[in-house]
Amino acid sequence: QVQLVESGGGLVQAGGSLRLSCAASGRTFSSYAMGWFRQAPGKEREFVAAISWGGGSTYYADSVKGRFTISRDNAKNTVYLQMNSLKPEDTAVYYCAADRDSARLRVGVTYYDYWGQGTQVTVSS
């Protein structure tokens, strides 16, 4: 069992930066692949980025590639999402999620086993 708590969201102007954090409880955090997703009002939850259990592999949605960076610190049981050059279309609730199948980086919502409560990111134009 893993509990996830996101933080770091807020209001930022277009072109600005934010760093989201996701703190995990549980001794098995390092065995999970981790992902970030987002959901804008009236839209489905969508994949943003994923990272392997050891941090050696990452994968990004095309919409954020080159602007966002996912990383993790297994000693701190925390995964991060550094978001630069933010755009108004990045406005959404951002969720972190854990995937017990750590061998692959997956983009589908249904593959992830545990979810945080989400943190709001609002980018003003």
Q: How confident is the model at residue 113 (pLDDT cuts 50, 70, 90)?
A: very high
User: For 4-28, what is the mean pLDDT?
Assistant: 95
In the block, tokens 């966002």 appear at 68
pLDDT digits over 17-44, tens only? 999 999 999 878 888 999 999 999 999 9
- Is residue 102 predicted with pLDDT exceeding 90? no
Let me know how many helices (H) and strands (E) the chain has, helices first: 0, 11
Could you tell me whether strands 10-13 and 3-7 are parallel, antiparallel, or unpaired per DSSP bridges? unpaired
pLDDT digits over 44-90, tens only? 999 999 999 999 999 999 999 999 999 999 999 999 999 999 999 99
Rounded CA separation 47/37 (Å):
5
pLDDT at 1: 82
Q: Which among 113, 93, 106 is positioned nearest to 8, based on CA atoms?
A: 93
